[in-house]
Amino acid sequence: MYYEGFNVWPLLIREDLLVKLGYKLTPLADIAKESTDKGVWPTFDSLGIEPAIDTPEKFDEFLKKVKALNIMVGDKPLTPLSSIYWSVFHLSSMMDNGHWRINDAGDVDGFLGLPGAHSYYKTWAEWYRTDLLDKDYVTQKDDQLQEKWATGRVATGLYVPNLGAARQSLMAKDPTAMIRPVAWPKQDQKYGFFDLFETGFWTSTFNKSIPDMDRMIKMTEWLNSDDGIDVNTWGPKEAGLYTTDSSGKKLWKDEETRKNIMGNVNDTKNAEYYGVFNPIGGGFSSRVSYCMPMVNVPIKADPRFNYPPELSIFDVVPRVLGQNTNMGYNTDGRACYGDGGDNTTSVGDFFWSKFSNGDIAKLLTSKDDAEFEAGWGEIQDSFESDGHYSGAKADMVKWFAEYGPKKQA
């Protein structure tokens, strides 16, 4: 078992558009000069935006203001909000949505059974109908979303496949077009979790009919060994990308190589060019890392440990936000992925397969409230019959009673 730290996912908004719309803020580059460039973290207050975009209603207002600008990028309109199909769940944590959770009153609910589900998906469908939400979001792939961000066709979202590269591309054309991490708009700071702390997460399985299974297992074990992680971090010795000092510490062969790889600088021989660890993207980039089960980060082999500490404003800001607000990541036991039983598995299967990739279309294509309510009713019926929601809820009530947060006497 390997554990890697969790990175908080913030909302992402372009600074130039915030300024154009009259919001007041200190540019992230200026905040960095007074904080991370001097080796200290920025304060939460320094990251503020006025007026704040801290509720779903204020976020809705922001999206409508962006659309009203009528900005064209080439022959295509600027999209106020774009993302990818699975992120509908993550963005739903603006309200009381997400994974199974127990509230202060002791009520247990999850996914489409949560109190915030109806209002969120009604808002989501309205955004889709009125072109506040990218209509491609259900089907677009990572490369399509990346191209939209990098060319300035998106105002806000949750996910950018290669955020560092998109920032570089945007700011090469307009230095004010910084993609800024922002705290999640929240209906209630107590609720809404799209992720939670657990000591285990991903499980890899192999088809037992694979030829040379023993070789596959050995390859997997090597990739996750110190040697395998080292090669995927620094490259093989014969590539000549690094030197080793008298104490055995590895260093990039020269300053240009260090900067290009550690910053994954666009249009250079960067981390992705060589297929080594990309600190900006936060993961390995070798071909084998994409097709075989292995850890995503080098942990103790991280090259940054071999150089004097350098704080990155992009790494630090989400953590500052997460220390002060609910960023959708639960750490106190009030939320859970499920108990591992058949019923909760059915709920997860229904949500991710039948709903997110299919039945949500009934809501997105609804022309008015009546059609939305009809579609929502059908989905709730299927959620019960196919997703076994009532059974799963009963199971989770038992689970939280045994493993959930304990009330103080």
Query: What's the confidence (pLDDT) of residue 28?
Result: 97
Domain contains 249: yes
Domain contains 307: no
Residue-wise pLDDT for 52-106, tens only, equals 999 999 999 999 999 999 999 999 999 999 999 999 999 999 999 999 999 999 9
Of 189-203, 347-361, 381-395, least confident by mean pLDDT is 189-203
Domain contains 302: no
Contact 118/386 with Cβ under 8 angstroms? no
Count up the domains in the chain and report the number: 2
| DSSP three-state, residue 5 | coil
Q: Are residues 237 and 194 in the same domain?
A: no
State which residues form the domain around 151.
1-202+312-409
Q: Are residues 226 and 363 in the same domain?
A: no
- Does residue 281 carry a pLDDT above 60? yes
Question: Model pTM?
Answer: 0.82
Q: Are residues 265 and 325 in the same domain?
A: no
Contact 184/13 with Cβ under 8 angstroms? no
Q: Are residues 268 and 347 in the same domain?
A: no
What pLDDT band is residue 3 in, cutting at 50, 70 and 90?
very low
Domain contains 306: no
277: tokens are: 């660890």
Residues 6+ apart with CB under 8 A from 100: 108, 109, 110, 111, 335, 336, 337, 338, 344, 396, 400
Looking at residue 335, its amino acid is A
Domain contains 303: no
Q: Are residues 107 and 231 in the same domain?
A: no
> 76-77 and 179-182: which strand pairing?
unpaired
Number of residues in the chain: 409
Q: Are residues 224 and 125 in the same domain?
A: no
Residue-wise pLDDT for 164-208, tens only, equals 899 999 999 999 999 999 999 999 999 999 988 766 666 778 888
Looking at residue 224, its amino acid is N
Domain contains 266: yes
Q: Quick one: which of 91, 84, 88, 89 has its CA closest to 99? A: 89
CATH of residue 336: 3.40.190.10
Radius of gyration of the chain (CA): 23
Q: Are residues 88 and 221 in the same domain?
A: no
Contact 138/85 with Cβ under 8 angstroms? yes
292: tokens are: 């075989």
Cα–Cα distance measured from residue 282 to residue 296, given in angstroms and rounded to the nearest whole number = 8
Final residue before a domain boundary, out of 292, 322, 342: 292
In this structure, the number of other CB atoms found within 10 A of the CB of residue 329 comes to 18
Cα–Cα distance measured from residue 134 to residue 116, given in angstroms and rounded to the nearest whole number = 22
Q: Quick one: which of 3, 11, 4 has its CA closest to 318? A: 11
325: tokens are: 């607000």
- Does residue 2 carry a pLDDT above 80? no
In this structure, the number of other CB atoms found within 10 A of the CB of residue 354 comes to 16
Residues 6+ apart with CB under 8 A from 383: 111, 112, 113, 347, 350, 355, 389
Final residue before a domain boundary, out of 236, 264, 292: 292
Final residue before a domain boundary, out of 292, 325, 353: 292
Cα–Cα distance measured from residue 232 to residue 224, given in angstroms and rounded to the nearest whole number = 10
Q: Are residues 47 and 164 in the same domain?
A: yes
207: tokens are: 């088809």
Q: Quick one: which of 126, 119, 26 has its CA closest to 80? A: 126
Q: Are residues 20 and 123 in the same domain?
A: yes
Domain contains 46: yes
Q: Are residues 99 and 198 in the same domain?
A: yes
Domain contains 73: yes
Residues 6+ apart with CB under 8 A from 18: 25, 49, 180
- Does residue 110 carry a pLDDT above 70? yes
| DSSP three-state, residue 250 | strand
Residue-wise pLDDT for 26-55, tens only, equals 999 999 999 999 999 999 999 999 999 999
Q: Are residues 404 and 354 in the same domain?
A: yes
Q: Are residues 144 and 64 in the same domain?
A: yes
